[in-house]
Amino acid sequence: MADDLVVVGGGITGQAAALAAAEAGARVTLIDWGRNAGSAANAGSLHVQMQSRFLRLNPHLAENVERSLPLYRAAVAEWARLDAALGGVEMSREGGLMLAETPAQMAFLETKAARERAQGLDVDLLDRGALDRIAPYLGPGLVGAELCRDEGKINPLVANARMTTRLEALRVRRVRDRIVSVTAEQAEGTDRYPARAVLVAAAWGSGALLPMLAMPTPPEPLHMNITEAGDYRIRHLVQHAERSITLKQFRSGQVVIGGGWPAEGGADGTPAVLSRSMAANVALAGRIAPGIAGLRVIRTWAGLNTPVDGKATIGPVAPGAALHVALPGDAGYTLGPIVGRAAAAVALGLEPPVDPAPYSPERWRQ
């Protein structure tokens, strides 16, 4: 018996798609290779404001990110819905700070904030006095920050575990397998799992599975650290206007330090930690937030990000095709649930939670 939907890729995007389809009454199989999963290595940031790191590395794609900002807001709202539906994922929505150490960095944030307000984001610029009132743990070298009230954080270990429990309760069939091809765009099913519709949500593996689309999905290995527990003080998602850094603190008191420092490997190879990334990442965190400097780093790890073009891809590979795509353009863990839910709705002929038209795969057609 054919499934209503086969989802290829068991990260947060694929899981959200399977969940949405199963809740709509569909018969669903979720297939994942079980290796190098970005969602299993994620640090739990809920990004909304334009990330300075992406803008620095990809200035030619800034417009794609800017036009996608309403989707990021919808993504955090979707996480809030999941937080309630899954029984709590330690979600916090106290906002995100992007820090500045120089007047030039503040000027960059001022320009960025104006663009974000035009897209409906709730942002403000803070001088040092205002910053001290809400984040007194920060170091003396900062002159101000941008506050984005739409941002937040979750505990991905809790979120992933509770998502798995919910999928099991809905009897979603989960298969560990490596899918190396899917059928032609007008056909149904994969090479071994027949279905009325197939949804590829395989992050960095999506490009290889969809050769009819010129869609680059390079695996980007990144480094992360977590400390022992300390007093819970860092309530915001913390970033920097020019340096690669993210700080967030779980309710357990552990501080997660990341922000785009490189790791080694990728593709078929398991990503590995680079000692120089660990040293530089942790040193920068200690300078920005001296209060955490006494905490010991108890674990470091590497995971795979999948930057594309700063814009999600949602929908069929061609009009009327049974083969569909669900791919965040960046910040995959933030966008995964809304992209997966929207793509599943389109694949099943249901009403999606956001308009998928701006994210059509047509832009990738060869």
The pLDDT assigned to 358 comes to 96
- What is the CATH topology of the domain spanning 96-149+219-305? D-Amino Acid Oxidase; Chain A, domain 2 (3.30.9)
Compute the distance between CA of residue 134 and CA of residue 124 in angstroms, rounded to an integer.
13
Contact 217, 329 (CB under 8 A): no
Closest CA to 199 of 103, 93, 321: 321
**pLDDT at residue number 127:** 98
**Phi, psi dihedrals of residue 67, rounded to the nearest 5°:** -70, -20
Interaxial angle between packed helices 12-23 and 156-169, expressed in degrees from 0 to 180 and rounded to the nearest 10: 30
Average pLDDT over residues 300-312: 92
Q: What percent of the chain has pLDDT over 90?
A: 82
The residue-averaged pLDDT of 94-110 equals 97
Element (H, E) at 168: helix 156-169
Q: 300 pLDDT exceeds 60? A: yes
User: pLDDT tens digit string along 342-352?
Assistant: 999 999 999 99
Residue with tokens 């059928």: 183
Task: Write down the pLDDT at residue 54.
Answer: 81
Spatial distance between the Cα atoms of 107 and 248, rounded to a whole number of angstroms? 25
Triad 242, 262, 109: Cα angle to 5°: 15
pLDDT for res 187: 46
CATH architecture designation of domain 5-41+157-217+309-364: 3-Layer(bba) Sandwich (3.50)
Q: What contacts 314, CB < 8 A, 6 or more positions away?
A: 325, 326, 327, 339, 342, 343, 346, 352, 356, 359, 360, 361
- The whole-model pTM stands at 0.95
Distance of alpha carbon 48 from alpha carbon 75, whole angstroms: 9
CATH 3.50.50.60, the chain: domain bounds? 5-41+157-217+309-364
Which DSSP symbol is given to 25?
Answer: T
**Which residues belong to CATH 3.30.9.10 in the chain?**
96-149+219-305
Residue type at 146?
E
Segment holding 271, helix H or strand E? strand 269-272
pLDDT higher than threshold 90 for residue 34: no
DSSP string for residues in 100-138:
ESSHHHHHHHHHHHHHHHHTT--EEEEEHHHHHHH-TTS
Tens digit of each residue's pLDDT (9 = 90 or more) over 254-272: 999 999 899 998 556 789 9
Neighbours of 68 (CB within 10 A): 23
- Of the candidates 326, 354, 338, 331, the one whose C-alpha atom is nearest the C-alpha of residue 79 is 338
Instruction: State yes or no: pLDDT of 341 exceeds 60.
Output: yes
